[in-house]
Amino acid sequence: IAIETAETGHLVFGTLHTTTAPSTVDRIIDQFPADRQAQIRTMLSESLKGVIAQVLCKRKGGGRVAAYEVLIANAAVQNLIREGKTYQLVSTMQTGKKQGMQTMNDHLFHHVKSGLVEPLEAYMKSTDKSGFREMLTREGIQLKLE
């Protein structure tokens, strides 16, 4: 119903318990029977405007700070969704920074560099741990695994 409502021009917000923007897209599509998924991919590609995934990290000194991933449905994203290639959405987010996209690792790394979050906390929240470790290493930031 939400996809059909969005197709008529209504703004629809939804929440899902997923950890990444691409997994959110996959979860929506997977809610439908296999014989309807191609149609749903097309409908979703035409109506989706964006996806935000967030995690809460322990802030140095107490409290929490949000880290988030942003996927904006540009033409490349629409094509990948329509073609069932959601596994390529992360690379599209990496190249779409000028359009406002960012990966979770990008935002977690930003929090570490700005001193808001400890490297280990950010590492534990990362969904691409090897990539995050590489980001830290490139900047000379030590990751002390306990």
Q: In this structure, is residue 36 part of a structural domain?
A: yes
Q: In this structure, is residue 11 part of a structural domain?
A: yes
Q: What are 67-95's pLDDT values in tens digits? A: 999 999 999 999 999 999 999 999 999 99
Other CB atoms within 10 A of residue 37 CB: 15
What total of structural domains would you count in the chain?
A: 1
Cβ atoms of 50 and 18 closer than 8 Å: no
Domain span holding position 127: 2-138
Q: In this structure, is residue 143 part of a structural domain?
A: no
Q: In this structure, is residue 146 part of a structural domain?
A: no
β-pair partners for 65: 57
Q: In this structure, is residue 99 part of a structural domain?
A: yes
* The model's pTM: 0.87
The predicted structure's pLDDT at residue 58: 98
The predicted structure's pLDDT at residue 100: 96
Determine whether 104 is exposed, middle or buried from the number of CB atoms within 10 Å of its CB (0-12, 13-18, 19+): buried
- CATH number for position 103: 3.40.50.300
Q: Is the pLDDT of residue 146 over 80?
A: no
Q: What are 88-142's pLDDT values in tens digits? A: 999 999 999 999 999 999 999 999 999 999 999 999 999 999 999 999 999 999 9
Q: Is the pLDDT of residue 24 over 90?
A: yes
